[in-house]
Structures are given as structure tokens and as C-alpha cells.
Amino acid sequence: MAILGKYIVKSNRIMTCKRKEEYNDFLEFTQTEPLKIIKHCATRWLSLEKSGSCLIVDMVGQMKTLLKTFLGNFLKIASIKSAEDVTQVDYTNKDNYLPVDFIAIGMKARTVLADNQDNLEPSTLHRIYSGQD
């Protein structure tokens, strides 16, 4: 770090003394520590691990929310809430399935089934909704 006139030169960045002082005053006022921006170094691929792991930690919560959304389309909410973790929900237990009328199969699929209801046997409809082959 070198001081040139009223500027501080630090690792190829120039910051005015006044701006640095305002920044430090803000940190002191809010009682926070300065955050470091994680950047990867062009010569070290291992430096990507730290920034990548931060992204992965953030993604876990989002993935669990997405899984809850998918499970909510065909499982009872009580069975999802009763599991300690959404990844531990017993989706193979048929007692946890929603009734046929509540299963979310999509609007287009419902339209096709409604239009062809006369041509489909009840056993075929049951197989479609229950997921049996």
C-alpha cells in the first residue's frame, strides 16, 4: 500500500482518503466488520472452491423449496410436514398420496382426459392417476 497525495493505492485500486474515512465511519456506526469480496485467482483453480461452496450452501435451501413444491403436487401436506427433512419424505407410501381429484397433473393433461373420458376405461384412468404401468 502506498500513499500518493490524498489517494491510497492498494492492490491496483485507488481510493480517496475521504472516501476510506467515510467507509470506516460507516462500519463503526453500524458495528460491522468489512466484508471481503471473494474473487478467484486466475492461476489457482483451488481458489474457486471457497466462492463455489458459498453458492452451494445458498442452493441447498432453494433446492429444498423446489422439492417441497414438487412433492406438494402429489403428496399430502401433513406427510411432508411430518418428516424432519424434506429429503426424508416417504413418497413410496401410498397412504401419503393425495386423492385422485387433487393430484396436480397439469391443465393440458386434465383437458385431454376430460375430452376423451368416454373413450377411456376406468382402469386406464386409475393407472394414469396412480402412476402404475
pTM for the full predicted model: 0.44
Least trusted range by pLDDT, from 21-35, 43-57, 76-90, 94-108: 43-57
Q: Looking at the 3D structure of the chain, how many domains does it have? A: 1
Domain that holds residue 8: 1-35
Is 1 domain-assigned?
yes
SS3 letters for 8-46?
A: EEECCEEEEHHHHHHHHHHHHHHCCCCCCCCCCCCCCHH
Is 7 domain-assigned?
yes
Is 113 domain-assigned?
no
Is 19 domain-assigned?
yes
Is 123 domain-assigned?
no
Q: Is the pLDDT of residue 48 over 70?
A: no
Is 124 domain-assigned?
no
Is 13 domain-assigned?
yes
| 3-class secondary-structure state, position 105 | coil
Grade residue 62 by pLDDT with cuts at 50, 70 and 90: confident
